[in-house]
Structure 1
Amino acid sequence: MAAVIPSRLTTLTRLRCSIFQTSYNPTSARTGAKYLRARLRGPSMVKYYPTVINIAQLARKYPALELVDEDEEQRLQDIEDRKKRGKGAPKKAKSKADSRRNQRKR
């Protein structure tokens, strides 16, 4: 039985890859094709964990129920208290001339 020439084998693999639409990788370099072919995990993870419905979503969905989100009310009260003490968030600049960065450069 005669031995097959290596150049013939490479030509054969190149042709096989073109026919079956696989990537030709003669040097066996890492391509990540195994991970790209794998099934995506996201959809099954979303199905596994139940959807969490909070009071804010229910209040938006059914405004007729007039639900009160106590955590949100407390947050708004805390913000108001901080503003009274002068500890609130700074005002946003309306124009480029109003910004703090521009005032610092003068």
Structure 2
Amino acid sequence: MAAVAPSRLAALTRMRCEIFQTSYNPTSVRTGAKYLRARLRGPSMINYYPEELTVARFNRMGGGFKIQDWDEYERLADVEEKKRRGKGAPKKAKSAAESRRMSRKR
């Protein structure tokens, strides 16, 4: 039995890829097709983890109920304490002239 020429096998493979709509990759380079064909993981992960109900989200839901957010209350108290001691965030500049960067001498 005679061996089939490699060029004929390559032509057969190319034709098979055209018919079955697959990618023709005779040199076997990495294409990432395996990952592109894979099912997306994002929607499954979103459905797996439940939505976290925070105090702020509960208060925004309505219904007339309000819960005191102690963490937020403590954070605001700390910010006020730092402002009183002069350690708070600097005031924002209203214009370019008030900016500290613009007033610096070169």
Q: 1 or 2, which has the higher helix percentage? A: 1
In the TM superposition, 1:22-33 aligns within 5 A as 22-33=22-33
| Structure 2 residue aligned with 1:81 | 81
Q: What letter is aligned with 1:28?
A: S
**Given the two structures, how large is their TM-score scaled by the length of structure 2?**
0.83
C-alpha distance in 2 between matches for 1:96 and 1:11: 69
Structure 2: gaps (5+ residues):
none
Counterpart of 1:97 in 2: which secondary structure?
A: coil
Shift of 1:74: 1.0
| Structure 1 residue aligned with 2:3 | 3
Shift of 1:105: 4.9
Q: Runs of 4+ in structure 1 displaced over 4 angstroms?
A: none
Shift of 1:97: 3.1
Shift of 1:98: 2.8
Counterpart of 2:40 in 1: which secondary structure?
A: coil
C-alpha distance in 2 between matches for 1:68 and 1:7: 77
Structure 1 residue 13 corresponds to structure 2 residue 18: no
**Given the two structures, how large is their TM-score scaled by the length of structure 1?**
0.83
Structure 1: gaps (5+ residues):
none
C-alpha distance in 1 between matches for 2:39 and 2:90: 48
C-alpha distance in 2 between matches for 1:60 and 1:6: 70
C-alpha distance in 2 between matches for 1:24 and 1:97: 64
| Structure 1 residue aligned with 2:69 | 69
Shift of 1:57: 0.4
C-alpha distance in 2 between matches for 1:36 and 1:12: 26
Q: Percent identity?
A: 66
Q: Deviations over 1:61-80 (max 9, x none)?
A: 12621222111111111111
